[in-house]
Amino acid sequence: MTADFDRSGEFEVIKNIFSPLSMSAPGAFGLTDDAAVMSVEAGFELVITKDAMVAGVHFLEDDKPENIARKLLRTNLSDIAAMGAKPLSYLLATAWTDDCNQDWIARFANGLVLDQKKYGVSLLGGDTVKTPGPLTLSLTLIGKVPSGQSLRRNAAKVGDLLCVSGTIGDAALGLMVARQELKSISEINAKFLLNRYLLPDPRVSLGPALVGLANGCLDISDGLLADIGHIVAQSKTGAIIHRSEIPLSKAAFAAVDMRPELWEQILGGGDDYELAFTLPRKNLTETLKKAESLGVKVTVIGEITHEPEMKILDDDGIELQVNSTGWAHF
């Protein structure tokens, strides 16, 4: 783990702040070598993902450093879960601005420590540099899955049930709370939605449990409609979604009850980091039992169809026209 700024301070940051995060990964060598070494046992293969976050784009510049770190790790954990894999370790690249002093960096690392313990992962290595801005962070997460059994988004089959974990739309509404664009809800609901935006809950236990049960799978990061659109496009199928079946939290339900136009945010907003997956009808009962044993709610919201289009129906079965189709990166 190297850097190109303030060499004396750089090595102290690595030694005192980041090296302790690598102690449970033998192949990290305490971040003292040029690279790390890792292996995977027979019968498994590695699954690798990377997410980047930029201040002012993926998080607000006044967000707490602990929360920024945890969200960075959790978004990657969600990708690994969507592949049916178990997370192992990660690589971290950071481009710090002048505002990121050692106290800020230490708080950032403390956020990683909290979630390393929670999710059983460790730092393997990385790089750190200085930038005039904006603050840019990138994390590469490595996981493992039984060979040939990773879940793919292109594997949905006609007749599959379309399912989601958890509740949908909380993060999009939470971002509105953070931007003070949703002032009509209670303080309790506002805090709940904001927390769902700041700290998503990656389904690290559900993902591996879906191996052998689900066909197509991905995590909902760009928005419900956009991500289901990815499944049907890559699977060369279509989908029907029943809006009345989409699971909402009490806070989201209260918000949309007061402002029905918020449905567009719920359907199109990103950052939920729940799993959307398809499965044969015969696997539904077993899937629900497994999910319940893991403390995760799973809801059937539609089905995969032959026609190459995606429809969303209201309570009366009438097709809805929705303007928002999700977050676009470019």
Residues 6+ away with beta carbon under 8 Å from 120: 87
CA distance 308 to 235: 10
Can you tell me the mean pLDDT for 57-74? 93
Alpha-carbon distance of 37 to 125, in angstroms, equals 10
- Type and span of the H or E element at 115: helix 102-119
SS3 label, residue 68: helix
Nearest in space to 167 (alpha carbons), one of 292, 75, 299, 71: 299
User: Three-state DSSP class for 57?
Assistant: coil
SS3 204: coil
Amino acid (one-letter) located at 314: D
How many angstroms separate the CA atoms of 27 and 224, rounded? Answer: 38
What's the CA gap between 230 and 163, in Å, rounded? Answer: 15
Distance separating alpha carbons of residues 313 and 187, to the nearest angstrom: 32
CB-count exposure of residue 108 (10 Å: 0-12, 13-18, 19+): buried
CA 177, 179, 182, 183 torsion-angle sign: positive
Q: Which residue has the tokens 């928002």?
A: 324
Determine what percent of the chain is predicted with pLDDT higher than 90: 82
The top-scoring range by mean pLDDT among 16-30, 54-68, 196-210 is 196-210
pLDDT one-digit tens code per residue, 261-275:
999 999 999 999 999
User: φ, ψ for residue 25 (rounded to 5)?
Assistant: -110, 100
Percent share of the chain, pLDDT over 70 = 95
In angstroms, rounded to a whole number, what is the distance separating the alpha carbons of residues 53 and 177? 20
Assess if CATH 3.40.50.620 describes domain 7-146: no
Hey, which bits of 131-257 come out as E strands? Answer: 136-146, 161-165, 217-219, 238-242
Residue type, 54: V
Three-state secondary-structure class, residue 313: strand
Range 278-298 average pLDDT? 99
Q: Taking the domain 161-313, which CATH number applies?
A: 3.90.650.10
pTM confidence score: 0.92
Tell me the pairing of strands 217-219 and 298-305. unpaired
Per-residue pLDDT tens digits for 234-248: 999 999 999 999 999
> Domain residues of the chain, as ranges?
7-146, 161-313
Query: How do residues 209-227 score in pLDDT, each as one tens digit?
Result: 999 999 999 999 999 999 9
Q: What is the pLDDT of residue 97?
A: 93
